[in-house]
A and B are shown apart, each in its own frame.
With several copies, the nearest count.
Chain A
Amino acid sequence: MKEPDNITEMKQVLEAALLTAGQPLSLDDMLKLFAGRMERTTLRMLLDELKQDWAEKTLELVQVATGYRFQARQQFSEFITRLNPERQPKYSRAVMETLAIIAYRQPVTRGDIEQIRGVAVNPNVMRQLQERDWIDVVGQREVPGRPSLYATTKHFLDDLNLRSLSELPPMDDFAQSEIPLDN
């Protein structure tokens, strides 16, 4: 193809290069596109025009530290991210065991949980489960310190697709067969 010799063609070359570059292009990079037959001031003007051309489009031309790049407008990022979802985070063992204790032994205090697990319960663990709206405080036990009593919520049942706690697998189904009775 002959060298672009008018504004329209020059802008087309610029646009095609910026859309396919995969990284920001510096002014020096972009000058290479025109094999030296382009002034920096002209290039800046073309970039401004290109920015205007894309003002109402799905991408926008932005300037970042290392140069210019096209990027998807913010409102599309959420959808595009669905193509490459992050790995699903997992709850720690402490969180899962605390949740299991509350589900099967509710209502329980932190002291109960600590006694069953044999280790102190990190307050952060309770906070995670409360923020998820899976457990809440349903009362206090009338002992010194009046510790809170925790129970699972309706929301917890919904999220695990259960109608009631009695749909949890009963523990005696496998208590004998799978848990060794070693005492």
Chain B
Amino acid sequence: MLLTTSEIKIKGELLSELPQDLYIPPDALEVYLEAFEGPLDLLLYLIRKHNLDILDIPMAELTAQYMVYVEKMKVIKLELAADYLLMSAMLIEIKSRMLLPKPAEIAEEDDPRAELVRRLMEYEAIKLAAQRLDEMPKVGEEIAVAAAYYQHISEIKPPEVSLDELVEAWRNVLKRAKLNSHHKIGKAELSVREHMSQILRRLKADGMVEFSQLFDMASEGLAKLVVNFLAILELAKEGLIRITQQQAFSPIYLQANASE
């Protein structure tokens, strides 16, 4: 931002005179804090607006002023004073090198001011970029994003259960019940138990079922037939079904014990 005197106020009074060098009067400190972002900013201002030649700054005087200033400002904003002081030191260094007798040929990049100029120009570009970013429309300021209402439908989704979770639950049951030594359940036993459920389901639906109807000789393998038979025996043993036969060699009937 480029300032004119009308924008700079000290204790409510307009600043009548703009600085001609890098020295900040202590009573104008707060103003400078707000108006300039640091020594680069101030220097840039002086160069661009007042055609200041950085070599024209009375360095010895400036340094003396700064020492007084730093003494005064020890309590507050010391780091700011340090920034300006550093800049003064840099300028003094540049000036002293410029005063040395020049070799006949001096390359552009050997000019001790080149580095300072590079920094000033980089800072200037950033300063303008910042202004541009500041001016761009932004969401929440100039950009309004569509945000109409919608009814959030609570789809009552049933919980998902994974096999791992099921096994974990069973493991916990066993752990707590200390059933492990008595209830190791293998694949074979699970097949039997599955068939037990299937037979019970069938008996529940059909009432009485003839024994051979529970075996599908055509489509089921031997292992499955055996498992099916074991399931019938287990059901009988657990008293869950009744097996009846009127006389030898007559059909054997199964019925759920409960279905009477």
- Min CB distance, B52 to chain A, in Å? 10
Category for how many chain A residues contact B: 35 or more
CB distance from B47 to the nearest CB of A (A): 6
Q: Which residues of A contact B180 (CB under 8 A)?
A: 175, 179, 181
Cα A16 to Cα B142 with chains together (Å): 13
The smallest C-beta distance from B102 to any residue of chain A, in angstroms, reads 10
User: Taking each of A71, A76, A119, which has the highest tally of chain B beta carbons within 10 Å of its own beta carbon?
Assistant: A119
Of the four ranges (under 10, 10 to 19, 20 to 34, 35 or more), the interface on chain B belongs to 35 or more
Q: How far is the CA of A141 from the CA of B239 in the complex (A)?
A: 7
Q: Which of B98, B143, B194, B240 contacts A71 (CB 8 A)?
A: B143
Main secondary structure of the interface of A (DSSP, over half): mixed
Taking CB as reference atom, which chain B residue is nearest A142? Answer: B257
- State in angstroms the CA–CA spacing of A155 and B139 once bound together: 10
Interface residue? A132 (CB, 8 A): yes
The interface stretch among A4-12, A39-47, A87-95 is A87-95
CA distance A44 to B51 in the complex (A): 56
Q: Which residues of A contact B215 (CB under 8 A)?
A: none
Q: Which residues of A lie under 8 Å from residue B98 when comparing CB positions? A: 183
Q: Taking A76-B144, A179-B120 as contacts, is the C-beta distance between A117 and B134 under 8 angstroms? A: no
Is A124 an interface position by the 8 A CB rule?
A: no
Q: Do B146 and A97 have beta carbons less than 8 Å apart?
A: no
Say if the beta carbon of B237 comes within 8 Å of chain A.
no
Query: How far apart are the CA atoms of A103 and B178 in the complex, in Å?
Result: 18
Indicate the member of A19, A74, A158, A159 with the most B CB atoms within 10 Å: A159
Contact A139 B176 (CB under 8 A): no
In the complex, chain A residues 145-183 whose Cβ is within 8 Å of any chain B Cβ: 146, 149, 151-152, 158-162, 164-166, 168-176, 178-179, 181-183
A104 at the interface (CB under 8 A from B): yes
Contacting pair B37 A160 (CB below 8 A): no
* Contact among B39, B134, B187, B203 with A118 in the assembled complex (CB-CB below 8 Å): B39
Q: Are B37 and A93 in contact (CB under 8 A)?
A: yes
- Distance in angstroms from B235 CB to nearest chain A CB is 9
Whether B144 lies near A179 (C-beta < 8 A) is: no
Cβ of A95 to closest chain B Cβ, rounded Å:
8
Check A50 for interface membership: any CB of B closer than 8 A.
Answer: no
Q: Mark B65-80, 1 if CB is under 8 A from A, else 0.
A: 0000000000000011
Distance of A140 Cα from B239 Cα, bound (Å): 10
Q: Is A59 an interface residue (CB 8 A)?
A: yes
A69 to B79, CA, bound (A): 45
| Given known contacts A90-B159, A165-B193, A172 and B184 CB-to-CB distance under 8 angstroms | yes
Chain B positions within 8 Å of A81 at CB level: 141-142, 150, 152-153, 155
- List, sorted by A's number, 17 A–B pairs whose CB atoms are closer than 8 Å: A22-B145, A81-B153, A88-B157, A96-B169, A101-B173, A106-B197, A107-B200, A116-B173, A118-B119, A120-B83, A139-B200, A151-B200, A166-B194, A168-B163, A170-B190, A179-B175, A182-B53
Q: Which residues of A contact B (CB under 8 A)?
A: 16-23, 59, 69-72, 74, 76-78, 80-81, 84-91, 93-94, 96-97, 99-101, 103-107, 116-120, 132, 136-143, 146, 149, 151-152, 158-162, 164-166, 168-176, 178-179, 181-183
